[in-house]
């Protein structure tokens, strides 16, 4: 697999650290738990989208774009990082924000990632949940073109085969770190939503010849829908990097039992997990993605599904800026 052949811009601090979490390990009394610190990618408080944007923005620049168009929920971590990348690369940024959470508070709609979007001078357009965003982004692109600009559309989460290249690279990076640190890892755990992170990891790890199990904890869709979404993108990405067929359907596993009542809606288990990691390891996780995935991992340990003597890596996808938007709903 060769990802260096694709257009790319340097946005992330790489490689990100791989750290042991001794207090969490002791507290849960199960496997040794490590964290892959992709909250440390550096751009606009960091997060997993920065790896993807290195390739998305690289392609945009190779096509002469001067305006980035993207979409996300009101508290989108992706939008925040995209807006920052556009600033860094002297581009305009048009953002379509989806009202995906019902009855949001004023705190939710004005602080956290939204505040940072505005600091980065993104032009925010708000849309109701369920909007056809492919059509809506195409209309914005036509508007930009009519005004003399050159648009480039980055899909939600930068989750297409171009963006997923960032996590092909992360999968390769992880295997190198395991080797350097002499670690035999039994499971890799990640949040899975728009699919690019999960799909890219699968290609990077399977394409490198490793059979390391990857477990995604879903945040917004039923298991069958999420697994098919990830597998489809993984297959497309594998073709792009000239490793067709390296990911099998059975390699893609998503447990979607920790979503609660909906995307972005807090759960008691998420609340417990976020506070546990803050107070045991001094780490901040977000309420929407990594917090719910942490809740799933912790429950697996408590059930004995991850066992003492095993080694587990949790991929920290960032997003702590979103905590401010949930200040009035987190139970502290």
Q: What angle do CA 221, 205, 84 make, to 5 degrees?
A: 65
Helix (H, G, I), strand (E, B) or coil at 8: coil
The two three-digit tokens of residue 94, written as one number: 């048009």
In the prediction, which pLDDT does 2 show? 82
Which of the residues are catalytic? 76
In angstroms, rounded to a whole number, what is the distance separating the alpha carbons of residues 141 and 67? Answer: 9
Sorted by sequence, the CB contacts under 8 Å of residue 116 that are 6+ apart come out as 44, 45, 80, 83, 84, 321
In angstroms, rounded to a whole number, what is the distance separating the alpha carbons of residues 258 and 294? Answer: 10
In the prediction, which pLDDT does 102 show? 86
In angstroms, rounded to a whole number, what is the distance separating the alpha carbons of residues 137 and 212? Answer: 37
End-to-end CA distance of the chain: 46
User: Exposed/middle/buried for 1, CB within 10 Å: 0-12, 13-18, 19+?
Assistant: buried
In angstroms, rounded to a whole number, what is the distance separating the alpha carbons of residues 76 and 98? Answer: 9
Residue 66, φ and ψ in degrees, nearest 5:
-125, -5
Q: What is the pLDDT along the chain (332 residues), one digit of tens a residue?
A: 789 999 999 999 999 999 999 999 999 999 999 999 999 999 999 999 999 999 999 999 999 999 999 999 999 999 999 999 999 999 999 999 999 998 899 999 999 999 999 999 999 999 999 999 999 999 999 999 999 999 999 999 999 999 999 999 999 999 999 999 999 999 999 999 999 999 999 999 999 999 999 999 999 999 999 999 999 999 999 999 999 999 999 999 999 999 999 999 999 999 999 999 999 999 999 999 999 999 999 999 999 999 999 999 999 999 999 999 999 989 88
In the prediction, which pLDDT does 260 show? 96
Bridge partner list, 32: 311
Residue 28, φ and ψ in degrees, nearest 5:
-85, -25
Residue 5, φ and ψ in degrees, nearest 5:
-75, -10
User: Which whole-number Å values give the CA distances from 244 to 6, 235, 236, in the listed order?
Assistant: 17, 7, 8
Sorted by sequence, the CB contacts under 8 Å of residue 114 that are 6+ apart come out as 74, 75, 97, 124, 325
Do the Cβ atoms of 65 and 10 come closer than 8 Å? no
In the prediction, which pLDDT does 1 show? 79
């Amino acid at each position: 697999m060769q990802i260096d052949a694709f257009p790319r811009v340097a946005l992330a601090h790489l490689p990100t650290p791989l750290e042991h979490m001794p207090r969490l390990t002791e507290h849960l009394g199960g496997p040794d738990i490590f964290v892959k610190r992709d909250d440390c990618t550096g751009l606009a408080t960091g997060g997993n989208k920065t790896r993807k944007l290195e390739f998305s923005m690289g392609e945009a620049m190779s096509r002469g774009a001067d305006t980035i168009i993207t979409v996300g929920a009101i508290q989108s971590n992706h939008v925040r990082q995209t807006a920052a990348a556009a600033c860094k690369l002297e581009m305009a940024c048009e953002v379509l924000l989806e009202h995906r959470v019902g009855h949001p508070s004023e705190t939710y709609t004005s602080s956290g990632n939204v505040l940072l979007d505005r600091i980065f001078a993104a032009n925010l357009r708000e849309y109701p949940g369920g909007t056809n965003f492919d059509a809506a982004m195409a209309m914005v692109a036509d508007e930009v073109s009519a005004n003399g600009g050159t648009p480039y559309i980055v899909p939600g989460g930068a989750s297409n085969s171009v963006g997923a290249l960032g996590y092909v690279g992360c999968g390769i990076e992880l295997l190198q770190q395991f080797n350097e640190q002499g670690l035999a890892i039994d499971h890799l755990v990640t949040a899975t939503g728009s699919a690019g992170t999960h799909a890219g990891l699968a290609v990077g790890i399977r394409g490198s010849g490793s059979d390391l199990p990857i477990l995604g904890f879903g945040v917004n869709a039923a298991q069958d829908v999420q697994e098919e979404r990830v597998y489809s993108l993984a297959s497309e990405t594998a073709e792009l990097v000239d490793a067709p067929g390296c990911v099998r359907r059975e390699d893609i596993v998503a447990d979607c039992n920790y979503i609660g009542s909906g995307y972005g809606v807090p759960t008691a288990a998420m609340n417990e997990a976020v506070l546990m990691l803050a107070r045991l390891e001094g780490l901040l996780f977000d309420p929407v993605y990594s917090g719910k995935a942490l809740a799933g991992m912790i429950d697996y340990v408590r059930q004995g599904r991850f066992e003492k003597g095993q080694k587990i890596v949790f991929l920290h996808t960032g997003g702590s800026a979103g905590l401010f938007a949930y200040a009035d709903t987190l139970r502290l």
